Each structure stands twice: as C-alpha cells, then as structure tokens.
Structure 1
Amino acid sequence: MAATNNHEPTVVVSDGLDIADNNVPTQIDDSKNSHHISEAASDDSWPDKPTEEELQTLRRVSGEIPWTMWTIAFVELCERFSYYGAAVLYTNFVNHPLPPGSTTGAAPDGLPGALGMGPKAAQGISLFNQFFAYLTPLLGAWIADARMGRFWTLHLAIGISTVAHVVLVAAASPTVIVKADAAFGAFIIGLMTLCVGTGFFKANVSPLLAEQNTDDRMRVEERDGERIIIDPAITNSRLFLWFYFFINVGSLTGQISMVYVEKFRGFWLAFLIPTILFLIAPLVLWSQHKKYKLTPPTESLLSKLIRMYWYARKRSNGFFKVDWETAKPSRTAISDRPLWMTYDDAWVDEVRRGLMACKVFLFLPVFFLAYNQMTGNLTIQAGTMQLNGVPNDVIQNLNPISIVIMVPLIDHVLYPALRKVGIAFTPVKRMTSGFFMATLAMVASAVMQYYIYKMSPCGWYSNRTVDGVPCDPAPINVWAQCLPYVLIGLAEILTNVTSYEYAFSKAPENMKSLVMAVNLFMSAISAAIGQAFTPLSDDPLLVWNYTVIACIAFVGGIAFWFCFNHLDTEEDKWNMLAKTHYLGRNQPTQTAATKEEC
C-alpha cells in the first residue's frame, strides 16, 4: 500500500505494490530455448483459500461494508436527486403548453407546461436524454482510467453538471419561458450539458464505491462454530444492492418534491432546488478523500489493449476464435517481445474476462426498451387517467418506492434464504429473471392502455385536445399503474443492479470505469433503438407499443439464457483469477530496452 500524506488520497495498487515501483520481482530464464518472465510470487494461492470441496459444501456470506462506501453512496444520492429532480420535469416542460397567464409554467388546477410540443416530442427528447447521458460515460471512463483517476473525474463531472443546472434554471426563468424558441434553445443546451456531467459521474461513482471493498479473495472463516466462506462476490452483490437503494432514495425524493414545486411554483424553482442540493456532493467527497482507496490511472491503456488484441488475433486459428495465451508475456521470448508488451499475464486473463462481460451486456438494450417506457409513455398515460389532484409525473415514483422497499427484503431475506438452501442465484439467473419481469410490466401496461382507450370519452384518442382543452380523463384511478411500476422495479433489481455488479467484478483492475461505461452505454443504444418506436408513442397505437416491447423483452430473455447460462458453472473461476500488477506507472514486464524506447 502506498504511504499517505496529509494532502493526497490513498493510492493503492493491488497486492501491496506502490505505484512508484516500476518493476515487479521477476525470474528470468535465459536458457537457449526460452526467455520467459514469471512473477516471483504466485497469486494462485493465499491463506485460508477454500478448497474445491469447501467451495461446494460451505455456506457463503458477505464481508463487512466499510464506512467509506456509505459516504460515496450518499454522494450518489445527492447526484440522483439533482438529476432526476430535473429530468422528471422534462416531459411536462416539453409536452404541455404554458398555462394561460402563467410566466412560470405552474398550474395548480391543471397540467404544468412550457413548450407545448406534444407527446411525440416529449418522448423523443426523453429518449435523446437517455441516449446522450449514457453515451458520455465512455469518455468519462477513459479520462478516469487513463488520465485523471476516478476521484478527480468525479469532481470534473460535478462542475459540468452544476453549470448545466444553472442553464436549465435560466431556460425556465419567467423572462425566458414566455419566449418558446429561446426557452427551447436554453433547455436543450442545459439538457446536453447535464448529460455530459451525468455520464462522467455515472462511469466512475460505482467503481469508486466498489473498490473500497477490501475483501478481494474468497477465504474460509469460522463463525459461531460454523465454517463459512467470505465471498467477495456476495459482498459486491450487497454493495450494489444498497448503492441502488441510495440511487432510488435520491431519485424518489427529487422526483416527488420537484413535481409539486413544478405544479405550484413553476419550473424555475423546480430546476433551482436540485442545483443547490448537488453542491453537497463535492463537500462529502473531499471530507473523506484521505480515507478512500484509489486506483491510479494507467496511461496508454486503450492503445495497449488494441495492440494486444490484434497481436493475439494474428496468432489465432479461425476467424472468430482468439487465442489469448499467445498475448501473454510469459509465452513470448524477451528478444521477440514487442516494446508495448509491458503488462503481465494476469492482465491478459482479466481483459478476456472483461470482454466476456461486455458480450453479456449486449442484450441489455432489449431490457431497457421496456424500462424506458416509464420515463415517457407511462407518464403520458397517467395524464389520461383520474389524477384526483396528484401530478401525473409523480406516479412514476411508484418505481423507486418499490425498489426502496424491496432492496432490504431481497438483501436480508430472499438472497440469504436461497444461499442457505444451496440455490446459487447467479448473475446470469438474476438477469434472465429481470427480462421476464420487464415482460410482465409491459403486458400490464398494454392492458391498462386498452381499458383507457375503451373508457375514455375520446376513445382511442385519449390525448386529444378539443378547442385547446385536453380530453376528460378515463374513469380509471391513476394508482392502477402500481403494477407495471412495481414489476419494472423488481426487474431493475434483478437485471440492472446485477449488471453493475457484473461489470465491476469482471473488469480488469485498471479498466473498471471503462467496462462500467460499456454497461451504461447499452442504455444509450436502447434509447437510439427506442426512437424507432416513437411513431407508436401516440394515439391510437399505444397498445401496440407496449405489446411489441413485451414480446421483444420476452424473446430477449430466452435468448439471453441460452447464450450465457454456461457462465453459471464458471462464475467462481472468473472471480478467482490472479490479479494484475499492471496499474498506474507499474509496468510488470518492462525490460531495459523498453524503458529506453519509452
């Protein structure tokens, strides 16, 4: 562990290596037939490592969750309050016109609005927001992994997001909101800037949180007379469950409070309050910065990854198969080793594992097609039902409410009970179950929409306006939307939370942010695909919209299981790989000639 001073965060390279150590102890075989470098100390064994029999028979439990993790989770809560507190306003801001005589968009007795561009535009902008916010993590991850590190990239993200919130406040100010073109221009600039800040933040906050977990290897302990396995995978599973709990507490409080501010005081104040709360985040981060375990950035990371891939690709048999063993330094004589091959064998295995995880993520856009209905179409659907004084965009908070309730139950009851009876509810099983929960949510939404059309005074055009007055709502209480929102919440816990866990646990040690960003990028792909469904996001086609997406989610879940169920049996193998020493400035297999070249 690197020594700390009074001014800098603790920077740790795994297994006790200081980032200033540019050489790992090696054994060099200069024999005639081979020139291989191998680590002096193997990572394949460690004290209290479970045997194969113990892996099959002993109960597995979580390790302790350090205090520093909770501080980072609170920072995420603040960020999610600010993001969702603003994002929940987008649909009404774009969809509905400015109420007569209003200069704030507030409408205590009606629906608040500003631009009056209609439901298609509102859904399109919602999907664009989803796309761009989950595209920018790729850049934020590269900056963190290769340049600035996660801690400082988070501060950069906070600065960008603060500017974005200020622009949104300006777009909704009384002097601007009455000028539709000016308000729309400022709104789009603020939205896009916030997407950049959010992307940089999202790519790095969960890896920063998870790397505070000091349990990085399975070990056997005895508790209350029972021999058990402390499993880092279970610790990470709990960690990301509670991380998601904090996400939804933040989004819940932000969304509920801001829609009432929007309705009774106007958009400018509803955009301003999240801005103020967001400024708490950097204060909390800085107050704990000396206690955080941080992974240093590794320069030339992507270029080395690409070179390694093509090096192995050229030496592999068959077009689709890559023999990763050929890219390991120990398999290449020193005299034949490329100058860029300064990593160790363990990094090759970690990269292979990370790419495997990225293949798993390729199915997530199908899942997010269903999830994205919650932020657009289901909000508009609520506006065609009997609200009884409840703002239409507050109903979607049934989703985070259900998550906040279910996370403790799943963590303390469901998952421990399954482990106790010997059922391994592995990541692949959990994610598959999430696909089917999303399918049921869309079926419930389709049935709901059918009865709205059937009972609405305007029939299959329930979003119609007559002489500028919205159609009367269907005689169905808006709280009937509970079912789809709760099902989507359960689907999120099973699929989305597990994907975070999978991204962190399978990523190379020096590419945690990048693999997490690839996972997040699947939401952007889903939003882009969702644009193709925008023509279905209006009357009289909304029943077809939900039905088609339900079918896609169902087929996607079946395909996901058949493609990846074999990974269930390999979960322990991938989680117990030797850890790389290629971190920060450390170049494990750097030779004297390579140093001169560099």
Structure 2
Amino acid sequence: MPIDGKDAYLLDTPSSVTGRSDSEFTSAAHKRRRVRDDVPWRLWLVAVVGFWERAAFWGLTAPWQNYMEHPLRDNAQQSPGALGLGQSTATRIYCAFYVFYYASPVAIAVLADGYLGRYATLLGSTVLYCLGCVVLTLSSSTGSLERGFGLPGLLLAMSLISLGGGGFRATPPRLKALRNGELVITDYHLTLQYIYSLYYWVGNLGSLSWFATVYIELHIGFTAAYGLALGFMAVASVTLVGGSRCYVKAPRTHNPLPEAARVILCACRSGFSMARADPVYQLRRRHKVVSWSAALVKELTRGLQVCRVLLAFVMFYVCFDQMQNNLISQTSRMDTNGAPNDLIPVLNQVGCIFLGPLIQGVLYPLLHRCRVYLTPVTRITIGFALVALSMLHATVVQVLIYRSPPCFDQTGNCGPGRVNVWIQAPLYFLISAGEIFAYVTALEYTYSHAPSSMKVVVQAMALLVGSIGSACAMALTPAARDPYLVIFYGSLTGGMAGTTLLFWMVFRGDAGQQTAAANDASDCEAAIHPAHRAARRASSGAPVLKPIDAGSPIELPSRAVSRSSTIPPLPEKSARRPRQNDSRTAWEMGRYTQIDVLYELPSQRLHTESQGGSRQASQAGRNYIADGFRGERGL
C-alpha cells in the first residue's frame, strides 16, 4: 500500500527537521498493514510452462495404479488394467518412482549450477521427459503388452520421467523486476508466500488433466491416455523454447551441495557434531587440513537448523502418497456409478484450486486486517492436523467397506461394493487444505529463513525429505492388504496425529519461527527508524550481516524502503555533531541517499545508486547492523 504525502514526508525527514518525536515518526508505518508486492509478468510465463508440465505429469501418473495393479479386463464391470501385479507390488513400484523423483533434483542441481547452466539443464530435462512419455505410450499398446514389453517399458519410462521431472524441480526460475516509485511499505514474507502459492495453484490447475486421462483410460485405453500426456509435454517444450528471450538466464555458479555434503559427512564421522567439522578443530585434533572454511560450517549449521521443521514432513509424505495408490485401490471396492475408480483423487487438485485462493486471498488478508499473523509453526500445525483427520476419514470409509456386501473383508477381486464412492470425497479436501497450510508454508519458511549461501542446500533437504517419506511409504506396502486395511489407515492416523502434537510441542517456543508474526510491530518500526530498540538486535529470521563495501547487494526481509526520494534541506545548525558509531545520526544523514529496489524473486535485494551522506555518517553506517539492514555510505 503506498504511503500518502504527509506520511511519506514523516518517513523521509528526520525528527531534527520535522520537530516530531520518534514515536510520531514511526506511527505512520506502525499503523500500516503488511501487504505483498507486485509480481512481474515473466513469472506468469514461467507459470505457464509449469502448468503444462504438471498437466503431463498428472496425466501420466493418474492411470498408473490401475495399469499396474489389475490385469486386462474381460468385461466393462471390472476396473481397467494391464500388468496385473496386485495392489502391494503396484504400490511398491509407485513409491519407488517417487523416491527417485524426489532424490534426482539434488544431483541435477549440481550439474545445472556448476556445468551446464540452468536453462540448458531444463532443456535436457524436457527431452528426457518427452522420451519417457513416448516409451510409456508405445509400451502400453496391446501389441507391446502381448509381447511382454509392458513392465520393462513402464520401468524405463518411469526412470526417464523421474529424471525429467527432477530437472524441472531442480531449476526453479530466477526472475528480476526493477521498480521505481514512491516510498512504500511491502512485506517480503507475504510476497514470497504469494509466489509459492501462485506456483502451487497453477500446478494444481494443470493437474486437472487427471479428469481427461482417467476417462480416456476407461473408455478408450491406456495408450490414448498416455498419448494425451505426451501432447501436454510437447506444448510445455514449445512454450519453454519459444519464450527463451524473455527469461533472465543466470550464469553458472558454484553449487554448495558437494562441499556441504563433505562437511556433513565429516561431522557424522566426528560424533555427529557440526562444531567438530570446523577447520581449526580438524587441524588441531585430527591433524587434517580440510577444503572448507569456518564460515561455511557456521552457515551450514544455521541452514540445517532451519531444516528441522522438515523432519516432520516424513510422516506427511507417507500419508500424502496414499492418494496415488492405496486410496485408488480402496475405490475399486466401492460403488462408482459408472465413473472411473481412479477419478476421485483428482478432488485433491480441485480442492487446492478452490481452497488455495480462498485461504490466500480471503482468510489471510482477513486475519491481517485484524493484525493477526499466523506464524509458520501455527500454519504447519494446522495443516498436519487436517492431514490426520483425512487419514481418520479413510479409516472410517474402510470400516464401512468391510461391513458391506458382497466382499466384506474378503480378499480377491469380487466386484464393487455398495458403499458410494463419493463418501471418500471429504478426505481429499482435507488433504488439500493440509497441503496449503503445511506444505506451501514449509517451502516459504525454509527458503526465507535459510542463509543466502545455504538456500540451495535447504531446498535439497526438502526434496530428500520427500524421498525419505516415499521410501517409508514403500516399506509399509506389505501391510496395505485385506483384511488389515482398517489397522493400516488407523496406524497412519495415529502416526500423523502424534507427529502434529510433537511438532507443536517442539517448535511452538522457537523464537526463529515467530519472526513473521510475533515481531510484526517491532520489525516495522526497526525498518523505518533503526534507533528503535528492536533494531539493535539481529533478527532470528535473518542472518547477522558483516559490513561490506558500497555497491554490494543487501539481503532485504520485510521492510519500508525509500525510493527515489528528494533530498530536503539540512538545518543550518544542529543540536549536536555526528559522533563515531552513532547509528541515529547515520540514519538521519544517510536517509537522503537516492535508492532503487531490485526484486529478485524469490529473493529481494537493494542497491544504492548514489553515494550521499558525509564521511562520518558513512563510517557510522558501516558499524551499524540492524535486522537485515547493512550500513552503506550513510544508509
């Protein structure tokens, strides 16, 4: 929200000029609500590529459980199938795919940053993706199935698709947009939250291809369904190549993952202590010279501390993976009224599409107007609780299935039961809401709270947690069989509920988690007037920064920023002279520096364009550090 002229003058003029007190000086910003900043149009172009990629991905994976679990059907009453591997084996292969899908971006990211570049890696991933679609389409034909090429073709296609999809996940867009204008107050965390929600929402919109492929699978065949997904991927490829001139292609950079892996391995060998991975410790105690610095160990330690919240998502992924396999198998024992049995899981994407804007555009702004800012821990806890409720609902549905004819709790394919399949629908909406509250928040939180040099490491850890969750789900597949499915879903309910409670108890008092909400007023005042008490401490949500030379980029969390301000005349006489290490004087004299703001999504940076301020103010500014701001030429 732009600040009006009167407030802008107050925020742009020191109290020695206006005669206003410090409390009056900060009142204009203190009364302002936090708002997100605008998003550049290039972000939408990248989102279009993501839309078609997600359409291809979900179009391919939607029929997989039926394709693997059931044999070729003899009549229209049976569920469609091809390989006839059974529920447990099909679920195990499905989970193995996700293990590889989540783990591959870690290695691909190193290749992209250090050797090929992000855009070239993305193009190569697109080629692998398309090849996987072609292999799957050809191997699913009737002739290929009769010759025994179905399972080998599926495994080869899964490998190619996991590599291609991993390339998309390993190369997130880096967009820049320059804006000039008047003094405004924007919230970096709200902007980042909006960006992640936008990508998440567009991805779920693309996943509606699930509707098309499952109906084609039921009425035409698997080959046509996979061919449609191949067409979606072709459109994504054309969009990616056609819009190449619009992208800001980042040059190849050093990827910290290999060095971070060596540090972590050294810490594990030294008693699982990061302090023992310090170069000084290794030299004195182990007589070993290591290639990394002490600063890297400290940054990595802080990055791993941020990743603690991700450990709870192992159980989240175990529950989430049930949608693509065991819950589809559950619908095969229910009355579908002619609809495909693997259609119902698409309600998860439908729920994300409708609940996402509702939560993002209605609930959060409503709470913000009431000065209520849900902390990341609170949002994640709410999401976990909703996922636990979804597993409880699955348990109740399974009880109803076991109590209804003709199958009851018997094993084997005895046909659909009498329980209506739409009773399962609330389960997917609960998971949708849980994803929005927990998953999106975790991505936003880990990225915004990680040190700048460790953001890639934190993102890799988030993907590895997903891989571990899928591996745990794969380990549980032998228990997912009749007549023990009630116990299976009940155990998932208890595990998710316990994870929710434990997560809340461990992280609710963590000061680092409360930065986005509890320190709202103090942060806003510290941004506008660093003499405020909150400005004299380093925020737990932003790294403590060392003085740097003029012209270097400055990491900005949520702050008020002066843009292209006009220098007002200084008073002829001042009440006192500037003194060394005087942060107030540095702020008052340095605020006249003309500033532009460069937003690098999803990071935010600030560059000084002029070099105003006196020599004394410049020296005082360099000695001043306050909650994400760095003194620089009087700023």
TM-aligned CA distance change 1:354 to 1:386, over 3 Å: same
Q: Give 1:413 shift.
A: 0.5
Please, which of 20, 23, 33 is the counterpart of residue 59 of structure 1? 33
- CA distance in 2 between counterparts of 1:582 and 1:298 reads 17
- CA distance in 2 between counterparts of 1:76 and 1:297 reads 22
Match of 2:221 in 1: 266
TM-aligned CA distance change 1:383 to 1:562, over 3 Å: same
Please, which of 518, 527, 533 is the counterpart of residue 461 of structure 2? 518
> Percent sequence identity over matched residues?
30
TM-aligned CA distance change 1:91 to 1:296, over 3 Å: same
Q: Give 1:47 shift.
A: 9.4
Preserved contact between residue 220 and residue 230 of structure 1 (Cα < 8 Å): no
Preserved contact between residue 353 and residue 574 of structure 1 (Cα < 8 Å): no
Deviations 1:79-120 (A, max 9, x none): 1111111111111111111123xxxxxx65532110111111
Counterpart of 1:65, as a letter, is: V
Match of 2:361 in 1: 412
TM-aligned CA distance change 1:464 to 1:151, over 3 Å: same
Match of 1:594 in 2: none
- CA distance in 1 between counterparts of 2:480 and 2:26 reads 54
Counterpart of 2:187, as a letter, is: D
Q: Structure 1 residue 473 and structure 2 residue 416: aligned?
A: yes
Q: Structure 1 residue 237 and structure 2 residue 182: aligned?
A: no
Deviations 1:295-316 (A, max 9, x none): 43323634544677799999x9
Counterpart of 2:370, as a letter, is: V
Q: Structure 1 residue 201 and structure 2 residue 168: aligned?
A: yes
Preserved contact between residue 133 and residue 161 of structure 2 (Cα < 8 Å): yes
- CA distance in 2 between counterparts of 1:574 and 1:289 reads 39
Deviations 1:318-375 (A, max 9, x none): 9746399x889xxxxxxxxx996799x7x77754443223222122111111111111
Deviations 1:354-408 (A, max 9, x none): 3223222122111111111111111111111111110000110111011100111
Deviations 1:538-559 (A, max 9, x none): 1101111111011111111122
TM-aligned CA distance change 1:69 to 1:348, over 3 Å: farther
Please, which of 166, 184, 204 is the counterpart of residue 151 of structure 2? 184
SS in 2 for 1:437: helix
Match of 2:8 in 1: none
Larger Rg: 2
TM-score normalised by L of structure 1: 0.75
Please, which of 112, 134, 139 is the counterpart of residue 166 of structure 1? 134
- CA distance in 1 between counterparts of 2:110 and 2:406 reads 53
Q: Structure 1 residue 322 and structure 2 residue 271: aligned?
A: no
- CA distance in 2 between counterparts of 1:125 and 1:94 reads 9
Q: Provide structure 2 residue ranges, at least 5 long, that are not aligned to the other structure.
A: 1-10, 14-21, 281-288, 517-522, 524-538, 555-635
- CA distance in 1 between counterparts of 2:506 and 2:178 reads 30
Kindly report which structure 2 residues correspond to 1:65-464, keeping only aligned pairs within 5 A, or say none: 65-100=39-74, 108-179=76-147, 181-204=148-171, 207-208=172-173, 211-212=174-175, 214=177, 221-222=183-184, 229-252=185-208, 254-299=209-254, 301-305=256-260, 320=273, 322=275, 351-461=300-410, 464=412
Number of corresponding residues: 497
SS in 2 for 1:392: coil
- CA distance in 2 between counterparts of 1:308 and 1:376 reads 38
- CA distance in 1 between counterparts of 2:432 and 2:325 reads 16
Q: Give 1:517 shift.
A: 2.9
TM-aligned CA distance change 1:52 to 1:290, over 3 Å: farther
Deviations 1:472-501 (A, max 9, x none): 322121111111111011111111112222
Deviations 1:47-86 (A, max 9, x none): 99x9998887642110001111111111111111111111
SS in 1 for 2:366: helix
Deviations 1:397-433 (A, max 9, x none): 1110111001111111111111221222122221111
- CA distance in 1 between counterparts of 2:265 and 2:140 reads 51
TM-score normalised by L of structure 2: 0.71
Deviations 1:438-472 (A, max 9, x none): 100000000010011001312112x523xxxxx23
Moved more, 488-497 or 55-64: 55-64
Moved more, 502-511 or 479-488: 502-511
Deviations 1:123-152 (A, max 9, x none): 111211221111111112222233333322
SS in 1 for 2:408: coil
- CA distance in 1 between counterparts of 2:265 and 2:342 reads 50
Kindly report which structure 2 residues correspond to 1:572-587, keeping only aligned pairs within 5 A, or say none: 573=539, 575-577=541-543, 578=545
Q: Structure 1 residue 559 and structure 2 residue 502: aligned?
A: yes
Q: Give 1:237 shift.
A: 0.5
The structure whose RCO (Cα within 8 Å, separation 6+) is larger is 1
Preserved contact between residue 68 and residue 288 of structure 1 (Cα < 8 Å): no
- CA distance in 1 between counterparts of 2:105 and 2:52 reads 19
Preserved contact between residue 348 and residue 428 of structure 2 (Cα < 8 Å): yes
Preserved contact between residue 203 and residue 520 of structure 1 (Cα < 8 Å): no
TM-aligned CA distance change 1:341 to 1:551, over 3 Å: closer
Preserved contact between residue 507 and residue 515 of structure 1 (Cα < 8 Å): yes
SS in 2 for 1:97: coil
Counterpart of 1:292, as a letter, is: Y
Q: Give 1:264 shift.
A: 1.3
TM-aligned CA distance change 1:509 to 1:151, over 3 Å: farther
SS in 2 for 1:364: helix
Q: Give 1:291 shift.
A: 3.3
Preserved contact between residue 350 and residue 506 of structure 1 (Cα < 8 Å): no
TM-aligned CA distance change 1:306 to 1:140, over 3 Å: closer
- CA distance in 2 between counterparts of 1:436 and 1:285 reads 38
Match of 1:7 in 2: none
- CA distance in 2 between counterparts of 1:541 and 1:212 reads 50
Preserved contact between residue 115 and residue 252 of structure 2 (Cα < 8 Å): yes
Q: Give 1:288 shift.
A: 3.1
Moved more, 135-144 or 559-568: 559-568
Preserved contact between residue 145 and residue 514 of structure 1 (Cα < 8 Å): no
Preserved contact between residue 99 and residue 470 of structure 2 (Cα < 8 Å): yes
Counterpart of 2:348, as a letter, is: N
Q: Give 1:257 shift.
A: 0.3
TM-aligned CA distance change 1:272 to 1:319, over 3 Å: closer
Q: Give 1:178 shift.
A: 2.2
Preserved contact between residue 70 and residue 79 of structure 2 (Cα < 8 Å): yes
Counterpart of 1:368, as a letter, is: Y
Deviations 1:524-575 (A, max 9, x none): 1111111232122111011111110111111111222223231223457355
Counterpart of 1:290, as a letter, is: R
- CA distance in 1 between counterparts of 2:274 and 2:477 reads 39
Preserved contact between residue 108 and residue 170 of structure 2 (Cα < 8 Å): yes
Q: Provide structure 1 residue ranges, at least 5 long, that are not aligned to the other structure.
A: 1-45, 101-106, 223-228, 329-337, 466-470, 584-598
SS in 1 for 2:419: strand
- CA distance in 2 between counterparts of 1:123 and 1:339 reads 44
SS in 2 for 1:455: coil
